[in-house]
Structure 1
Amino acid sequence: MAATVDARGFSCPQPVLMTLQAIKATNPSELVVLVDTDTSKENVVRAAQSQGYAVKEVSEEGEGYRICIERR
């Protein structure tokens, strides 16, 4: 099961920092990040890619987004 970062309710750069912290702490093969703004979605995707992760899926979930990333 993928690790999950729930960054809903936080404004940037907090979702990016939370995502990077989870990547550095556990180096997961797959990570799900929940965000609630377009800006957070775009910034988390860029940050994940900069750490060697590929975006597997971005889907709308409720009033936000579910971003699934995986290590390349």
Structure 2
Amino acid sequence: MSTPRTIDASGLSCPQPVLLFLQAAKADPDGAFVVIVDNEASRENVSRAARTRGFAVEPQDMDGGLCRLNIHK
């Protein structure tokens, strides 16, 4: 698996985190991504968008209320 591209979407409200992920996934449809979010809505919406496009999503809670979404094919 390639080195994941990190998208730091902490501090952003929806739909910005989803749009950042979709832009990255369009550029690299088989890539691996790490998306950092800081709210439940972004966590759910990015996860849903990724799964809809055939990606697996592995959420990992981090300190400070952050969540790391490990996304890959």
**What residue number does 1:45 align with?**
47
Q: Partners in 2 of 1:69 and 1:16 — Cα distance?
A: 13
TM-score normalised to the size of structure 2? Answer: 0.88
Q: Partners in 1 of 2:51 and 2:68 — Cα distance?
A: 16
Gapped runs of 5+ residues in structure 2? none
Task: Tell me how many residue pairs correspond in the alignment.
Answer: 70
Gapped runs of 5+ residues in structure 1? none
Across the aligned residues of Structure 1 and Structure 2, the Cα RMSD in angstroms comes to 1.0
TM-score normalised to the size of structure 1? Answer: 0.89
Q: Which has the higher strand share?
A: 1
Cα contact 1:34–1:65 (8 A) shared by 2:
yes
| Other structure's SS at 2:18 match | helix
